[in-house]
């Protein structure tokens, strides 16, 4: 396993591939940087020529010609810098375009695997990376390699100019290294603390009604403040250290330029260099050290981009793959659960142990049992939402994890306990935000018994709803969720407590929908506590403490329960104290 993990880390991710695809852009930016840095010599050379040639000869014509040449070269340098910036902007946009959809998919898979990480931080990380690539930070890394060019010219001026510039560069490089060592870890910790505090605030906002009604805001604010304070403390400490080093770097750069003037003046007095070289040497010194100064000043943004890069690498390595499963024929609805063990994300113990049963196409199964018996866990495992530690769930003989979810999705209907509708119109929610077929949308709404209700809304099927359902009640959201589940005539429908928020009219509509699906040969799995629905099912599965207590024909399982052969709650009050039975017809 360690070798496999090491190999996985060596495998290029989508981020690596995206960066490889834009490497020609980086190379072009590097080429432009070469010419830009060559043109950076112009101010020093111009100063040298003005002092040593124009002033020495007192020639106005020479001064005018030199000035015209300098203006042309400066305009050229400005154009090259604009082109380089445009290249970096397009590199950032190209990476964002290539990775945006993949990160979006990986983000959802991570949210399924780790329910506590539902935030959109990966998209923020992509924005951070793009903004860094289009900012001033990369300019320092493009200009830094040309430092020897300026030092070489300074050596041409005088040996001690070159030696002094090397010493100054080494001091600033040491400051850059110290900046990384003193602030790198603290900035990473601060960034993680910021993410956690933002996620906590988002989770509180999702439950704003409960918080407001029960006066919990103060307590929650205090907890958020603790997390936010941790972020502020680490960031402040890192910023203090980075500020000291950054200001020291700027001061030293100005000092070195001034000392270069002094050194040049001494050499000029000794008649070893011309007066023009004194000014030109100081200008070249400032230009040589500028990338190092910029690198130190932008280190905070570099550290943020590096942390974002590492998080995106981890996300894409574990939660995204371009490998698509081979398309399989549309399912008929045959379900086989083969001794599965399921450990919910974040849990240490399995919620399901050795669960096994089979369903034929058109079967209607009711899963019953006490609270925390593992019923919803079983539903998630059967749909391939949660990973299975051991065993298999097969749909028409194929492991559910082998199916391409994009192709399987239209054949699956799912209504979870917590109904989540998305921002958009009612019709868009029902058709799952695909290409809307008005006839299928209305048919699904009629089947869920919600067609008349929708027509009474201000804009009918075009009524816009907010993320949490907006103006819709809990029962209305549940019925629209049922319409979404049955849209497109799926072959397998899983309904988790589908009548928990329904009134009598909604209950009747649900029963009619179940009867219709049964007549159409749809395989239906119901998780319910309501006895009135049980008259429609063919089979029953009794779960207790994560294990199958009984499975078989409805009447036989009901008789076993009524005869006392199956006890769901023992004398101690704990679930699962009865004897497991396998009823006939299983």
Instruction: Using pLDDT thresholds of 50, 70 and 90, give the confidence band for residue 5.
Output: very low
Query: Do 499 and 507 form a contact (C-beta atoms < 8 A)?
Result: yes
State both tokens at 410. Answer: 């239209």
Is 253 a residue whose pLDDT tops 80?
A: yes
* Distance, CA of 71 to CA of 60 (rounded, Å): 16
What mean pLDDT comes out for the span 170-175?
Answer: 87
Condensed to tens digits (0 to 9), the pLDDT of residues 115-126 reads 655 567 888 888
The CATH number that domain 416-532 falls under is 3.40.50.300
Topology of the domain comprising 2-319:
ABC transporter transmembrane region fold (1.20.1560)
What mean pLDDT comes out for the span 191-209?
Answer: 75
pLDDT for 230: 81
pLDDT for 581: 46
Query: Over 456-515, what HEC string results?
Result: CCCCHHHCEECCCCCCCCHHHHHHHHHHHHHCCCCCEEEEECCCCCCCHHHHHHHHHHHH
Q: Which residue has the tokens 């990376």?
A: 129
Is 292 a residue whose pLDDT tops 70?
A: yes
Query: Which pTM value belongs to this model?
Result: 0.72
User: CATH 3.40.50.300: which residues of the chain?
Assistant: 416-532
What mean pLDDT comes out for the span 437-441?
Answer: 90
What mean pLDDT comes out for the span 454-466?
Answer: 86
pLDDT for 44: 85
pLDDT for 467: 58
- Of 581 and 565, the structure prediction assigns the larger pLDDT to 565
Task: Quote the radius of gyration of the chain (alpha carbons, Å).
Answer: 35
Is 424 a residue whose pLDDT tops 60?
A: yes
Sheet holding 398-399, edge to edge: 352-359, 335-342, 390-395, 398-399
Beta-strand pair 390-395/547-553? unpaired
Condensed to tens digits (0 to 9), the pLDDT of residues 342-377 reads 988 777 889 899 999 999 999 999 999 888 888 989
pLDDT for 46: 85
pLDDT for 160: 92
Cα distances (Å, whole numbers) of residue 56 to 48, 53, 60, 66, 279: 11, 5, 11, 14, 15
Is 72 a residue whose pLDDT tops 90?
A: yes
Average pLDDT, the chain: 83
pLDDT for 115: 65
What mean pLDDT comes out for the span 401-417?
Answer: 85
Condensed to tens digits (0 to 9), the pLDDT of residues 53-66 reads 777 777 888 888 88
Kindly report the backbone phi and psi dihedral angles of residue 511, in degrees, each rounded to the nearest multiple of 5, phi listed first. -60, -40
- pLDDT-wise least confident of 451-455, 473-477, 551-555: 473-477
Closest CA to 62 of 46, 77, 76, 73: 46
- Of 170 and 209, the structure prediction assigns the larger pLDDT to 170
pLDDT for 584: 41
Query: Do 405 and 386 form a contact (C-beta atoms < 8 A)?
Result: no
Which residues 6+ apart lie within 8 Å of 4 measured at CB?
Answer: none
User: CATH 1.20.1560.10: which residues of the chain?
Assistant: 2-319
């Amino acid at each position: 396993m360690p070798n496999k993990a090491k190999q996985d880390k060596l495998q290029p991710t989508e981020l690596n591939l995206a960066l490889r695809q834009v490497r020609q852009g980086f190379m072009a930016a590097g080429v432009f940087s070469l010419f830009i840095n060559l043109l950076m010599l112009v101010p020093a050379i111009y100063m040298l020529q003005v002092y040593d040639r124009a002033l020495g000869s007192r020639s106005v014509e020479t001064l005018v010609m030199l000035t015209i040449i300098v203006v042309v070269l400066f305009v050229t340098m400005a154009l090259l810098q604009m082109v380089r910036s445009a290249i970096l902007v397009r590199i950032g946009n190209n990476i964002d375009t290539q990775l945006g959809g993949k990160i979006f998919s990986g983000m959802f898979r991570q949210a399924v695997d780790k329910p506590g990480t539902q935030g959109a931080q990966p998209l923020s990380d992509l924005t951070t990376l793009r903004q860094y690539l289009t900012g001033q930070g990369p300019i320092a890394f493009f200009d830094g390699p040309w430092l020897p060019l300026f030092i070489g010219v300074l050596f041409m001026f005088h040996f001690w100019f070159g030696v002094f510039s090397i010493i100054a560069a080494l001091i600033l490089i040491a400051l850059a290294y110290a900046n990384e060592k003193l602030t790198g870890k603290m900035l990473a910790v601060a960034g993680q603390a910021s993410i956690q505090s933002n996620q906590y605030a988002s989770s509180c906002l999702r439950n704003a009604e409960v918080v407001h009604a029960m006066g919990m805001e103060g307590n929650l604010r205090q907890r958020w403040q603790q997390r936010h304070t941790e972020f502020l403390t680490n960031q402040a400490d890192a910023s203090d250290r980075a500020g000291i080093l950054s200001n020291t770097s700027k001061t030293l750069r100005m000092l070195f330029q001034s000392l270069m003037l002094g050194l040049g003046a001494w050499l000029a007095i000794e008649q070893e260099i011309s007066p023009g070289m004194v000014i030109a040497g100081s200008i070249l010194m400032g230009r040589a050290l500028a990338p190092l100064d910029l690198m130190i000043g932008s280190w905070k943004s570099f550290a943020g981009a590096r942390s974002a890069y590492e998080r995106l690498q981890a996300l894409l390595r574990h939660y995204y793959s371009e490998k698509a499963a081979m398309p399989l024929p549309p399912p008929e609805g045959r379900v086989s659960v083969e001794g599965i063990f399921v450990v919910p994300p974040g849990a240490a113990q399995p919620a399901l142990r050795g669960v096994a049963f089979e369903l034929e196409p058109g079967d209607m199964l009711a899963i019953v049992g006490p609270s925390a018996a593992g019923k919803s866990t079983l539903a998630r495992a059967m749909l391939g939402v949660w990973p299975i530690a051991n065993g298999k769930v097969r749909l028409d003989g194929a492991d559910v994890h082998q199916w391409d979810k994009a192709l399987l999705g239209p054949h699956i209907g799912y209504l979870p306990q917590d109904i989540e509708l998305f921002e958009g119109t009612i019709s868009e929610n029902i058709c799952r935000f695909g290409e809307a077929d008005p006839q299928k949308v209305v048919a699904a709404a009629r089947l869920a018994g919600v067609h008349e209700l929708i027509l009474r809304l201000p804009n009918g099927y075009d009524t816009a709803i907010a993320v949490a359902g907006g103006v819709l009640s809990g029962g209305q959201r549940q019925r629209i969720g049922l319409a979404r589940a049955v849209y497109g005539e799926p072959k397998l429908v899983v309904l988790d407590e589908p009548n928990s928020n329904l009134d009598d009219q909604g209950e009747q509509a649900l029963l009619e929908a179940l009867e219709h699906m049964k007549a159409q040969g749809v395989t239906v799995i119901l998780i319910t506590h309501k006895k009135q629905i049980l008259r429609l099912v063919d089979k029953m599965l009794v779960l207790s403490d994560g294990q199958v207590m009984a499975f078989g024909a409805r009447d036989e399982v009901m008789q076993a329960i009524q005869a006392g052969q199956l006890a769901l709650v023992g004398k101690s009050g704990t679930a699962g104290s009865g004897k497991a039975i396998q009823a006939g017809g299983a």
